[in-house]
């Protein structure tokens, strides 16, 4: 899946990064030169990419050891035709809560403007990107153009680097937060999880403890 | 937003914020992560804003020499730091993460916005003198001033109990009791007569009249009245003059109600919003100018009615302050106001003036405020004030002069330089600046720099001594035999009497961190904390009052005649004074002489008297 996304990203870049007329999006495909990262999280109706519909998007910019919560992005999206009871229980987003939501296309447009060509960071980010790509392609013709960083692989690499094979690897979201001693901010809201993920990242990047 | 979940909003200072302010705060906070040992704020450097610890420990360190430092304060979860430094523009000490630390950071810009909306919140970070500031806000003298501006209207008068001519004593007494009235008015044709409780008591007990006597027979028909809309103060003067407890309010010959002494007096403590209603309502510079003209007439009339000088000064200070604030708000864009603070300095800052004196003002700005139109607007401000009748300052201490419009770190740096230089010019400038009082904009900027200066000055005992000595540079105009010495052009009240008191008290206020600006209030505060003997305090206040009274007399008497001549307004001719005044003045000078000796002893310099 990772390889497939890589290839499609490459194709997108060839196609949209150069073609005139699409100037608006061209900068998205330029290589990123800054030092910022965007932590991203989406809440969806299902864990199966094929069935999943986006309910809300949260994103926050990380610069050095700062999480720019003041400019965080929090979008809810108009309720999809089917809103499974299971997802309501997890995210506590009922149909009424999504009533004021944005249309999907506008929400994705906002997300692209917010993220730009910065790398995106997330907890099992591949899933989030797969759902975003799937929703984006029919509307824009391309998927999320960004390089991705997965907090889980960062964490796993860190554990193995410290030769801690003997202890059981716990890779749940809350487990990682706990082991990194990160306070969990607003669990199961897109922005809250994005902020917590951002803090995990900052901690692992700059922390020694 | 979700960030608020992790903030304990039930503890101060965050409990002081309402829901809207809290969400403003949450919306503008970033999260910072610091490693163990990482310096979050460097002493002498800038603080980004208010830091609220979400997790971890932070130490505030005071550097002792190159390599060592000792910990002043530990901050743990839910503690906050850096707010004061952020407003001040520069931190005093290092703040270092003692373990891995995550904190919320509210940038200085937004912190100031929040403080501007909610003053109590801001006072919390200026912890040095929270109580003093709270006290200053409830200054009873200001109430006095505001009280005098209150007018006779429905808020202070009660409906009169009117009985017809046939009512007898019993019936009237019953009605008065039912309606809890202290008096009743008897209508007799078109005239009214007043019956008070005392009248009823006298009639029954002393004159032994039966309870069936009609009240019209015992009523007093020579009513003392005021017109509705007149100053409540006038009603009070009338009551005092006639030694009565109530006056009847009339409007165009119609009875409106009664003002009772007790109720009029209760305005002293409860009334605080009437001042400058017209100033507040003014929507344009022209309307403001009209109000300013009326103010002078008001002061004159109050003076002729025998109002104490001290209250006149308070009243004028309160009015001028409102007027300047209003003008500031008319000219300065709304989004800039939370990031600047207009201060008035010198006598205006102390609130000790009777006629409109020169403009002495300056502007404290937030560090890093981008306001390119500032200089232009400040020039306009000075110009309009001048048009309204505040003469330009000959020393050019005005916001039109860029020297007096500076970011807070520049102000504090400058004051530090003046203190270490301690030459004549520095001392003069400091004397002007330490009397500064905030008038418009965000008072937190002013309080922060003042508190910084209070701390700073403690390390400069030598400076205080040099500063205090200035109080004795002018001779007290007394002869060896103790009578007043007069020069050909009269006695200089300012140099001989007012200045030594103001400056000496100013020095002591600085040393003991008294937040008041007014000399009377400073004296009272110094007596309260026990550094000035009660007797000397009282005498100084009286003497200070005498100098001002005589000065006002001379000034108002001369108003419009030759005030243009510089230096003259502070001189009085002894021949213009009567015996009693001369005697009082002599005694006042003796108080000054005594005080100078006291200063010389306290600050250990030769008295040179």
pLDDT at position A97 is 76
B3 touches chain A (CB under 8 A): yes
Strand B246-251 with B225-227, pairing: parallel
Is the pLDDT assigned to residue B605 strictly greater than 60?
Answer: yes
Strand positions, DSSP E, A47-193: 54-63, 66-76, 120-122, 148-150
* Between B59 and A22, the higher pLDDT residue: B59
pLDDT at position B538 is 92
DSSP B582-594: HHHHHHHHHHHHH
Is the pLDDT assigned to residue B571 strictly greater than 70?
Answer: yes
Measure A21 CA to nearest chain B CA, in Å. 37
Any idea which of A9-18, A100-109, B25-34, B553-562 has the lowest mean pLDDT? B553-562
Q: Determine whether B380 is exposed, middle or buried from the number of CB atoms within 10 Å of its CB (0-12, 13-18, 19+).
A: middle
Strand positions, DSSP E, B526-594: 571-572
Which residue does chain A place closest to B27, by CA atoms? A70
CATH 2.60.120.10 corresponds to the domain B2-125: yes
pLDDT-based confidence at residue B333 (cuts at 50, 70, 90): very high
Share of chain B above pLDDT 90, in %: 22
Average pLDDT over residues B571-595: 85
Which B residues 104-143 touch A at CB under 8 Å? 104-105, 107
| CATH H superfamily, domain B162-269 | CBS-domain (3.10.580.10)
Contact A65 B55 (CB under 8 A): no
pLDDT at position B48 is 87
Residues A96-113 have pLDDT tens digits of 777 788 999 999 999 999
Number of Cβ atoms within 10 Å of the Cβ of A96:
8
- Partner residue facing B102 (CB), from A74, A186, A199: A199
B35 touches chain A (CB under 8 A): yes
Domain boundaries along the sequence of chain B = 2-125, 129-150+271-407, 162-269, 460-609
Under 8 Å between Cβ of B93 and B61: yes
pLDDT-based confidence at residue B265 (cuts at 50, 70, 90): low
Is the pLDDT assigned to residue B306 strictly greater than 70?
Answer: no
* Set of chain A residues whose Cβ sits within 8 Å of the Cβ of B36: 208-209
Q: How far is CA B117 from the centre of its chain?
A: 20
A209 touches chain B (CB under 8 A): yes
Domain boundaries along the sequence of chain A = 2-206
Q: Give Cβ neighbours of residue A131 (< 8 Å, ≥ 6 apart).
A: A42, A44, A49, A52, A54
Residues B453-494 have pLDDT tens digits of 888 888 887 888 889 988 888 888 888 777 888 777 778 888
- The packing angle between helices B261-270 and B140-149, to 10°, is 130
Residues B350-377 have pLDDT tens digits of 888 776 678 889 999 998 899 999 999 9
Residue B50: phi, psi to the nearest 5? Answer: -75, 125
* Set of chain B residues whose Cβ sits within 8 Å of the Cβ of A203: 33, 100
* Set of chain A residues whose Cβ sits within 8 Å of the Cβ of B6: 183, 185
HSE-CB for B454 with a 13 A CA cutoff: 19
User: What is the rounded CA–CA span in Å between residue B346 and residue A44?
Assistant: 66
pLDDT at position B136 is 41
pLDDT-based confidence at residue B568 (cuts at 50, 70, 90): low
- Residue written as tokens 């109600």? B257
CATH 3.30.70.270 corresponds to the domain A2-206: no
List, in sequence order, every residue forming a beta bridge with A9; answer none if it has no partner.
Answer: none
List, in sequence order, every residue forming a beta bridge with B231; answer none if it has no partner.
Answer: B151
- Partner residue facing A70 (CB), from B2, B6, B30: B30
């Amino acid at each position: 899946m990772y390889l497939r996304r890589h290839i499609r990203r490459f194709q997108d870049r060839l196609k949209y990064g150069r073609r005139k007329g699409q100037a608006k999006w061209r900068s998205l495909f330029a290589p990123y030169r800054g030092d910022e990262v965007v932590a991203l999280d989406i809440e969806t109706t299902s864990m199966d990419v094929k069935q999943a519909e986006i309910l809300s998007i949260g994103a926050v910019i990380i610069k050095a050891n700062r999480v720019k919560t003041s400019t965080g992005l929090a979008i809810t999206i108009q309720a999809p035709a089917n809103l499974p009871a299971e997802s309501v229980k997890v995210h506590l987003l009922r149909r009424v809560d999504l009533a004021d939501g944005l249309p999907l296309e506008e929400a994705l447009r906002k997300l692209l403007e917010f993220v730009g060509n910065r790398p995106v960071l997330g907890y099992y980010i591949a899933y989030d990107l797969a759902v975003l790509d799937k929703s984006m392609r029919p509307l824009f013709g391309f998927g999320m153009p960004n390089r991705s960083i997965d907090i889980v692989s960062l964490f796993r690499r860190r554990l193995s680097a410290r030769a801690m094979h003997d202890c059981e690897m716990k890779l749940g979201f809350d487990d990682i937060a706990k082991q990194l001693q990160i306070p969990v901010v607003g669990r199961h809201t897109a922005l809250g999880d994005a902020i917590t993920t951002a803090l995990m990242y900052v901690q692992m990047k700059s922390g020694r403890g | 937003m979700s960030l608020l979940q992790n903030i304990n909003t039930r503890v101060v200072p965050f409990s002081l914020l309402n829901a809207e302010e809290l969400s403003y705060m949450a919306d503008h906070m970033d999260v910072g992560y610091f490693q163990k040992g990482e310096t979050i704020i460097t002493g002498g450097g800038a603080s980004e804003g208010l830091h609220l610890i979400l997790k971890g420990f932070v130490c505030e360190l005071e550097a002792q020499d190159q390599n060592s430092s000792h910990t002043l304060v530990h901050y743990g979860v839910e503690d906050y730091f850096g707010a004061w430094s952020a407003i001040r523009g520069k931190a005093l000490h290092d703040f270092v993460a003692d373990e891995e630390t995550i904190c919320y950071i509210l940038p200085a810009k937004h912190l100031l916005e929040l403080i501007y909306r909610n003053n109590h919140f801001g006072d919390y970070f200026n912890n040095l003198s929270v109580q003093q500031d709270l006290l200053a806000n409830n200054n009873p003298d200001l109430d006095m001033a505001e009280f005098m501006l209150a007018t006779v209207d429905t808020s202070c008068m009660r409906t009169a109990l009117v009985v017809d001519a046939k009512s007898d004593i019993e019936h009237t007494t019953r009605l008065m009791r039912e309606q809890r009235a202290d008096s009743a008015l008897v209508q007799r044709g078109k005239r009214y007569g007043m019956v008070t409780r005392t009248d009823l008591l006298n009639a029954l007990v002393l004159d032994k009249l039966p309870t069936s006597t009609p009240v019209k027979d015992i009523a007093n028909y020579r009513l003392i009245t005021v017109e509705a809309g007149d100053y409540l103060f006038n009603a009070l003067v009338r009551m005092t003059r006639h030694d009565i407890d109530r006056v009847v309010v009339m409007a165009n010959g119609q009875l409106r109600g009664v003002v009772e002494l007790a109720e009029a007096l209760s305005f002293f403590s409860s009334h605080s919003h009437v001042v400058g209603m017209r100033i507040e309502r003014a929507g344009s510079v022209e309307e403001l100018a009209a109000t300013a003209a009326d103010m002078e007439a008001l002061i004159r009339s109050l003076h002729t009615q025998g109002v104490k000088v001290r209250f006149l000064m308070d009243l004028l200070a309160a009015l001028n302050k409102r007027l300047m604030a209003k003008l500031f708000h008319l000219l300065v864009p709304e989004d800039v106001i939370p990031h600047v603070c207009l201060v008035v300095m010198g006598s205006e800052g102390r609130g000790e003036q009777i006629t409109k004196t020169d403009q002495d003002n300056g502007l404290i700005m937030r560090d890093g405020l981008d306001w390119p139109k500032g200089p232009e607007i400040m020039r306009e401000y000075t110009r309009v004030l001048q048009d309204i009748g505040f003469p330009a300052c000959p020393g050019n201490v005005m916001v039109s002069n860029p020297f007096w419009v500076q970011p807070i770190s520049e102000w504090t740096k400058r004051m530090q330089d003046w203190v270490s230089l301690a030459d004549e010019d520095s001392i003069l400038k400091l004397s002007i600046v330490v009397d500064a009082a905030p008038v418009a904009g965000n008072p937190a900027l002013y309080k922060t720099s003042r508190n910084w200066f209070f701390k700073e000055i403690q390390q400069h005992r030598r400076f205080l001594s040099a500063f205090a000595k200035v109080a004795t540079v002018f001779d007290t105009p007394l002869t060896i035999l103790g009578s007043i010495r007069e020069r050909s052009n009269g006695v200089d009240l300012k140099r001989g009497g007012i200045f030594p008191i103001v400056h000496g008290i100013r020095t002591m206020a600085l040393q003991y961190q008294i937040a008041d600006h007014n000399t009377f209030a400073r004296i009272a505060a110094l007596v309260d904390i026990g550094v000035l003997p009660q007797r000397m305090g009282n005498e100084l206040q009286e003497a200070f009052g005498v100098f001002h009274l005589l000065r006002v007399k001379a000034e108002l008497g001369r108003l419009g005649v030759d005030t243009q001549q510089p230096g003259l307004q502070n001189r009085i001719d002894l021949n213009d004074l009567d015996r009693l005044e001369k005697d009082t003045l002599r005694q006042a000078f003796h108080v000054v002489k005594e005080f100078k000796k006291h200063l010389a002893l306290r600050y250990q310099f030769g008295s040179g008297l």
